[in-house]
Structure formats: structure tokens, C-alpha cells
Structure 1
């Protein structure tokens, strides 16, 4: 763009010069940019900043170019700065969100591990309960066997008791008969 513009060192107005010189930008090569005036048919008499080394003793230049009267450039620069600040803020928010997400992932993993430990504990307890239920069932079988034996023995005792009661009754009857016979024979003599 600079090569297409014809440059002269004439100033168009003193207020523009004063304004632009107070806001004189730095060239990308590090030197202060020079205020110049365009003589092209497209932009006649329009002031711009260009590299101060442009066309001086055949030295290369950095192609720096900026319209001096363009507030839109300043606005664009301000807008770019705002956008850069917004991007930096968003990047910071992203980093914070990523850190928070990592914390959440760590917490989820910790809780998953806790759930796995508890599930394993529940499995162990269920297995222990099953084992104890089996022990209780085997004890119940043993108790039933013992109760059957007790019932058989009790039945035998009852039978034996009945037999003893019959014998006692028979003995009593024999005793009574003996006493009666004794009395009969002793009185009859």
C-alpha cells in the first residue's frame, strides 16, 4: 500500500499535525513513524504515518502505514485491544473451568472408588450372611434330629411310665388281695 501512494512532506493542517504528532505511533521497526501527505488521486492531501526509513539511502523499510486522520484505526485498535482482553479473560475462564472440571473428575473418580469399596463390602457381607444362613440351616437340621430323638425317648419314657404305673397298680392290687387274704385267714382261725 505504501508503494502505491506518492508521498510528500507537506503538512495539510497544523491542528492535524499537532493532534497526530501527540499520538505519533511507533513503527514496527522500532523508530517513530513519520507524518506524510498522500498525493494520489484516490487520497489527495490525506495525511498518514509511514516508516521514517522509507526511501532513505536505499535502506529497506518495514512497510508500516497508518492514516493519521483515521479515528477508525484507533477505534479498530481499541476494539482489537478490547477483543484481546476479552480473549485473555475467556482463556482465564477456560483455564479455571478446566481446573474445576479436573477437580470434578477427581471427585467423581474418588466417589466411584468409594462406591466400588462399598459394593465390595456389601458383597463380602452378603457372602458372610449366606455362609451364616447355611450354618443356621445345618444347625436347624441337627436340632430337628435331636428333637426327634428326644421325642422318641420321651415316647419310650411315657410307655415305660405307663408300664410302671400298670405295674404299680397291679402291685397295689396284689397287696390289697394279700392283705384281704391275710385278714380273712387270720380272722377265720
Structure 2
């Protein structure tokens, strides 16, 4: 799963309870960049991206999954944004960034 680093917050959004990973370290909030769960936040081991703790597989969604028409709209918007970004890259490669 592709992720981006989020804030160092280690607390649940509603409960205020500290989340600990299987290593006993405070869990870090990441953001999913997958097509299935775009921008959905989740808890993971804070050493995950650094490769310092490859054995820890701690993973918990931070929030409820968006379903129905809001999810379809979000996925569609993500797709349009991705297409536009690819077109911009293509135009920059063709014409250069001189304009």
C-alpha cells in the first residue's frame, strides 16, 4: 500500500486514547494514496517507512470507511485530478516549462 507520512499524532480522532503498535511504540497517522481508499487516514508503526521495524504489521483505520455516492464522487474526482496531472506533465514535456 502506498502511503504518505501524516502528522505525528498518536491519538484517536474521537476517543483521545493513545494507539500503540505491536512494538509498543505510539502509532503514527498515515494517509492512503490508493485508488480504493484515497486520502483515508490510518494508524501504523512509526518505524514502518524507515524500514527499522519490518516485522511490525500494525494497521488500523482511523475513521469509518466512506461508502455509497460520496465514495464514488471522491474516487471519480481523484481520477479526474490524476488525468489532469498526467496531461500537464505531458504538455510540460512537449513544450517545456518556458511559458
Q: Between Structure 1 and Structure 2, whose CA radius of gyration is higher?
A: 1
Instruction: Say if 1:24 and 1:6 are closer, same or farther in 2 by CA, change over 3 A.
Output: farther
Quote the offset at 1:55 in angstroms.
2.4
| 1:28-177 map, 5 Å | 28-70=22-64
Instruction: Give runs of ≥4 in structure 1 deviating > 3 Å.
Output: none
1:59-101 per-residue CA deviation (whole Å, 9 max, x = no partner) reads 4241100000039xxxxxxxxxxxxxxxxxxxxxxxxxxxxxx
Q: Which has the higher strand share?
A: 2
Give the aligned CA root-mean-square deviation in angstroms. Answer: 2.7
**Structure 1 SS opposite 2:13:** helix
Q: Distance in 2 between matches of 1:22 and 1:30?
A: 17
* Preserved contact between residue 31 and residue 40 of structure 2 (Cα < 8 Å): yes
Give yes or no for the alignment of 1:8 onto 2:7.
Answer: no
Would you say how many aligned residue pairs link Structure 1 and Structure 2? 62
Q: Distance in 1 between matches of 2:43 and 2:14?
A: 9
Gaps of 5+ in 1: 12-16, 72-189
- TM-score, normalised to structure 2, is 0.51
Point out which structure has higher relative CO (alpha carbons under 8 A, 6+ apart).
2
- TM-score, normalised to structure 1, is 0.28
Quote the offset at 1:19 in angstroms.
1.9
Q: Distance in 1 between matches of 2:3 and 2:15?
A: 18
Quote the offset at 1:35 in angstroms.
0.5
